[in-house]
C-alpha cells in the first residue's frame, strides 16, 4: 500500500466533516462520536483498498454510512428507522410546528432522526456535506434518480418540521 | 411544468445549462416557486449552520500511524513516518493498542510467556519483560531470553528502551505507570534471541527507534544513571 503513510493526514483533513456526517446520521452525540471513530478505524484497516486518485472523503463517508447501517442492524433497530415509503411521506405532515427561529443542532438532529434512514443519508450528504448527486449516488450505491427522489421527500419533510431555519440569512 | 425533483436539482446546481435556464425562467415567473426556492435555500443554510457546530468542536483526528509499526504482514512498510502516540486522543491510543493486541493474540495464542499484555486497553510490558526493562543494563545481559538494546529519550523526555526476546523485538517507553509498548515485531528468522537485533538489526525496529529518538542513545554511564533514577 504505497500511500499508507498518508492515512493520518488524509483523515485529519476530513475528520471534522466525518464527525458532522456521523452526527447527521446518528441518534445522539455519543452514538455519533462512536460512529465517526469506528469509521476511521475501519478505513484505516482497509486503507490498502483505497484507490489513489479517487476521493478519500467519498470513500471514508461510504465506510461511515456502511458502519452506521451495520450498527443499526446489529442493534436490531433498523426496522424502526426504515419506515415504508407511505409512512415516510407522512413525516412531511408531522404536527411539529415549523419555526422561524434559527435551527440549533439539537433541533436539527431531532428532525433528521424523524426522517427515514434512506432520506436522512441523502440529505446529510447533499444538503449538509455538499456532495453532488452523482457522488452521493456512488457513495450510497444507488441510482441518481433514487437519490434525487429521496432528497426531494427528505427536504420537504424537513421544511415541515423545521420551517426555513432562520429568516435572517 | 417543473416537478419537485427537477426544481431541487436546479436549486442544487445539478441541471445542465439548458434545463437550468428553463427552470430559472419558470421560477422567476412564479411567485409560488420563487417563495419555495427561498424557503429551501434558507432550510439548507440553516441545516448547515446547525451542524457546523459539530465541526467546530471536533478535536484532533485520531491517528493510526502507531499501529502500522506492529503490522506483521509481509508487505514492505515505509519507515520514517512520525508515529505519534502523544497528543492523540486516548481512544486512538487504545484502538491502536488493541490492534496490536489482536495481532499479538494471533501471534502468541496460547503463549504463557508473552512479553506483553493488555492493561486497561493499553499494551504494556508483561512482568518478566517489565522487570528486565526496569533493572537490566544492556552491558549485563541476563541468562534469560530477554536482551536490552538501546536506551534513549524520546522528544517528550520519556526514556525508551529497545528489547528482544526469543520471538519478538520491540520498543518500550517509560510512562508513569510502567513500560508502554511502542512497537513490537517478530524476530527475524535465524536471529531469534540475538541481542544485536535490539540494537537495530531489525530494520523496522530500527526505523521506529530512528523515529522516536531525540538526541543520542545513552552510553553505559547514562544508562546506569537512568536506572538509578528510576527511568524518570
Same domain, A118 and A68: no
Residue A140: which CATH number? 1.10.10.10
The mean pLDDT of B186-213, rounded to a whole number, is 60
User: Is residue B87 within 8 angstroms of chain A, CB to CB?
Assistant: no
Q: How far is CA B222 from CA A68, A111, B210, B211, in A?
A: 52, 63, 19, 21
Taking the CA atoms of A24, A26, A28 and A33 in sequence, report the sign of the dihedral they define. negative
Q: Distance between terminal CA atoms of chain B?
A: 77
Judging contacts by C-beta atoms under 8 Å, the chain A residues touching residue B99 are 45
Same domain, A106 and A131: yes
Minimal Cα–Cα distance from A167 to chain B, Å? 7
Same domain, A157 and A98: yes
Q: Which residues in chain B (194-213) have CB-CB distances under 8 A to chain A?
A: none
* A128:B12 CB<8 A: no
The predicted structure's pLDDT at residue A160: 93
Residue A64: which CATH number? 1.10.1740.10
Same domain, A94 and A58: no
pLDDT digits (tens, 9 = 90+) for A106-140: 899 999 999 999 999 999 999 999 999 999 999 99
Number of domains composing chain A: 2
Same domain, A66 and A120: no
The mean pLDDT of A2-22, rounded to a whole number, is 83
* B8:A4 CB<8 A: no
Same domain, A69 and A94: no
**Residue linked to cell 528489547:** B163
Same domain, A55 and A8: yes
- B93: cell is 491510543
Is A12 within a domain?
yes
Same domain, A19 and A37: yes
**Residue linked to cell 440569512:** A169
Higher pLDDT, B121 or B193: B121
Nearest to B197 by CA among B159, B150, B140: B150
The predicted structure's pLDDT at residue A139: 96
The mean pLDDT of B194-219, rounded to a whole number, is 70
* B12:A126 CB<8 A: yes
Contact B66, B42 (CB under 8 A): no
pLDDT at residue A54 tops 70: yes
Q: Where are the domains of chain B?
A: 4-56, 65-228
pLDDT at residue B192 tops 80: no
Distance CA A166, CA B48 (A): 12
Minimal Cα–Cα distance from A15 to chain B, Å? 6
The predicted structure's pLDDT at residue B128: 81
- B30: cell is 412564479
Is A169 within a domain?
no
Same domain, A87 and A158: yes
Is A150 within a domain?
yes
H or E segment to which residue B171 belongs: strand B168-175
Same domain, A128 and A158: yes
Is A167 within a domain?
no
pLDDT at residue B198 tops 50: no
Distance CA B11, CA B24 (A): 9
The mean pLDDT of B92-117, rounded to a whole number, is 50
* B47:A103 CB<8 A: yes
Is A149 within a domain?
yes
pLDDT digits (tens, 9 = 90+) for B13-63: 999 989 999 999 999 999 999 999 999 999 999 999 999 988 888 888 998
User: Is residue B16 within 8 angstroms of chain A, CB to CB?
Assistant: no
Contact A114, A154 (CB under 8 A): no
The predicted structure's pLDDT at residue B88: 40
Distance CA B101, CA B94 (A): 10
pLDDT-derived band of residue A163, with 50, 70 and 90 as boundaries? confident
**pTM assigned to the model:** 0.54
Judging contacts by C-beta atoms under 8 Å, the chain A residues touching residue B53 are 105
Higher pLDDT, B5 or A4: B5
Judging contacts by C-beta atoms under 8 Å, the chain A residues touching residue B9 are 133, 148
Distance CA A159, CA A33 (A): 27
Same domain, A25 and A90: no
pLDDT-derived band of residue B202, with 50, 70 and 90 as boundaries? low
Same domain, A50 and A105: no
The predicted structure's pLDDT at residue A73: 85
Judging contacts by C-beta atoms under 8 Å, the chain B residues touching residue A11 are 61-64
Tell me the residue range of the domain where A143 lies.
83-162
Taking the CA atoms of A97, A98, A104 and A105 in sequence, report the sign of the dihedral they define. positive
Q: Of the residues A13, A39, A74, which one is the last residue of a structural domain? A: A74
Contacts of A50 (CB under 8 A, 6+ apart): A3, A43, A56, A59
Long-range contacts of B164-170 (CB under 8 A, 24+ apart): B164/B193, B164/B194, B164/B195, B164/B197, B164/B198, B164/B202, B165/B115, B165/B129, B165/B193, B166/B192, B166/B193, B167/B108, B167/B192, B168/B115, B169/B197, B169/B198, B169/B202, B169/B205, B170/B115, B170/B116, B170/B205
**Residue linked to cell 471514508:** A60
Lowest mean pLDDT among A79-93, B101-115, B177-191, B215-229: A79-93
Share of chain B above pLDDT 70, in %: 69
Amino acid at each position: 500500500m504505497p500511500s499508507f503513510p498518508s492515512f493520518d493526514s488524509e483523515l485529519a483533513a476530513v475528520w471534522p466533516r466525518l464527525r458532522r456526517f456521523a452526527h447527521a446520521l446518528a441518534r445522539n452525540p455519543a452514538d455519533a462520536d462512536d460512529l465517526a471513530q469506528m469509521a476511521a478505524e475501519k478505513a484505516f484497516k482497509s486503507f490498502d483498498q483505497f484507490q489513489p486518485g479517487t476521493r478519500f472523503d467519498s470513500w471514508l463517508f461510504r465506510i461511515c454510512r456502511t458502519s452506521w447501517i451495520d450498527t443499526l442492524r446489529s442493534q436490531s433497530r433498523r426496522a424502526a428507522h426504515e419506515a415504508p415509503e407511505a409512512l415516510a411521506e407522512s413525516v412531511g405532515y408531522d404536527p411539529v410546528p415549523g419555526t422561524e427561529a434559527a435551527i440549533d443542532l439539537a433541533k436539527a438532529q431531532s428532525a433528521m432522526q424523524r426522517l427515514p434512514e434512506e432520506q436522512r443519508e441523502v440529505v446529510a450528504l447533499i444538503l449538509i456535506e455538499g456532495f453532488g448527486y452523482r457522488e452521493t449516488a456512488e457513495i450510497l450505491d444507488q441510482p441518481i434518480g433514487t437519490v434525487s427522489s429521496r432528497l426531494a421527500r427528505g427536504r420537504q419533510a424537513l421544511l415541515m418540521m423545521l420551517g426555513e431555519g432562520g429568516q435572517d440569512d | 411544468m417543473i416537478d419537485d425533483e427537477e426544481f431541487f436539482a436546479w436549486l442544487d446546481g445539478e441541471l445542465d445549462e439548458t434545463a437550468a435556464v428553463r427552470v430559472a425562467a419558470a421560477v422567476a415567473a412564479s411567485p409560488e416557486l420563487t417563495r419555495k426556492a427561498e424557503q429551501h435555500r434558507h432550510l439548507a443554510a440553516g441545516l448547515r449552520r446547525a451542524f457546523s457546530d459539530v465541526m467546530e468542536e471536533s478535536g484532533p483526528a485520531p491517528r493510526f500511524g502507531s499501529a502500522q509499526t506492529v503490522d506483521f504482514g509481509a508487505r514492505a512498510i515505509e519507515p520514517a513516518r512520525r508515529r505519534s502516540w502523544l497528543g492523540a486522543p486516548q481512544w486512538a491510543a487504545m484502538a491502536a493498542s488493541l490492534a496490536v493486541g489482536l495481532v499479538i493474540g494471533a501471534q502468541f495464542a496460547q503463549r504463557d510467556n508473552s512479553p506483553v499484555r493488555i492493561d486497561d486497553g493499553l499494551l504494556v510490558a508483561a512482568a518478566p519483560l517489565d522487570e528486565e526493562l526496569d533493572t537490566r543494563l544492556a552491558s549485563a545481559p541476563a541468562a534469560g531470553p530477554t536482551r536490552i538494546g538501546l536506551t534513549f529519550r524520546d522528544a517528550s523526555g520519556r526514556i525508551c528502551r529497545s528489547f528482544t526476546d526469543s520471538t519478538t523485538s520491540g520498543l518500550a517507553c517509560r510512562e508513569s505507570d510502567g513500560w508502554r509498548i511502542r512497537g513490537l515485531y517478530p524476530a527475524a528468522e535465524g536471529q531469534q534471541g540475538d541481542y544485536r537485533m535490539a540494537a537495530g538489526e531489525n530494520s523496522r525496529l530500527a526505523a521506529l527507534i530512528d523515529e522516536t529518538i531525540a538526541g543520542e542513545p545513552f552510553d553505559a554511564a547514562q544508562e546506569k544513571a537512568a536506572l538509578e533514577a528510576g527511568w524518570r
